[in-house]
A = this chain, B = another copy of it.
Amino acid sequence: MELNFGTNSLDNFCSDQDGLSLKPLRCPAPFLLKTYDLLEEGSEEKDGIKIVSWNEEGNGFVVWSPAEFSELILPRYFKHNNFSSFIRQLNTYGFKKTSSKIWEFKHEKFQKGCRHMLVEINRKKCEPSVFPQYLKSCSEENAMTSSSVEESINNHEILMEENKNLKKERLELQMQIAECKALEMKLLDCLSQYMDTSQNKVRRL
């Protein structure tokens, strides 16, 4: 079974140590904590050969032996033993592979001795571009060489599929709009605050 590393909570707020002032403190994502801890918890070795470690500069890490890493390390920290799933997560959090020769990964905010910086690493949101590719949902099935009944059923299914996709797309667009509106509010808020501040500044002078 999986080890438990203190913070398993999925939300990003923790209570303060003193238990009184409940100022919301950000917690790093579980994936980041586990990956960091995995590097700190002893230089992982097998038969005297390093499996995974921080790099020389301490500003990245190297998986020296992906096979051993997947088999021995991953299942101790995650619910799987697939190297590719681990990579997928690294990408999700914006890590970059630095070399085509070795499995070295870097992220500006992922550095040896800087566990506190992990909070600044954010999961990438999937933000569709302003005009999404509605070309994708277009159905391009030509294989209707059978009787007209089948054909009609087939057409029906294609229509249903397209319909379903359109509804999904609509929802996504509506959510995008909501996000835009939220951002507008923030900007307006920011603008008005700025105006206040600088007016005061002028007044004081």
Contact = CB atoms under 8 A, between A and B. Distances in A.
Given A156-B156, A166-B166, A173-B174, A1 B202 contact: no
Dominant secondary structure of chain A at its interface with chain B: helix
Given A79-B80, A180-B180, A194-B194, A128 B175 contact: yes
A159 to B, nearest CB: 5
Copies of this polypeptide in the complex:
2
B1 A75 contact: yes
A25 to B, nearest CB: 13
B202 A198 contact: yes
Q: Which one of A128, A132, A139, A173 has the greatest number of beta carbons of chain B within 10 Å?
A: A173
Given A180-B180, A191-B191, A163 B159 contact: yes
Interface stretch (A38-46, A53-61, A86-94, A182-190): A182-190
Interface string A80-122: 1100000000000000000000000000000000000000000
Contacts of A171: 127-128, 131, 135
A169 interface: yes
A139 B167 CA distance: 11
A178 interface: yes
A204 B99 CA distance: 52
A205 interface: yes
Interface in A138-176: 138-139, 152-153, 155-156, 159-160, 162-164, 166-167, 169-171, 173-176
A123 interface: no
A5 interface: no
Contact of A173 (B75, B79, B170): B170
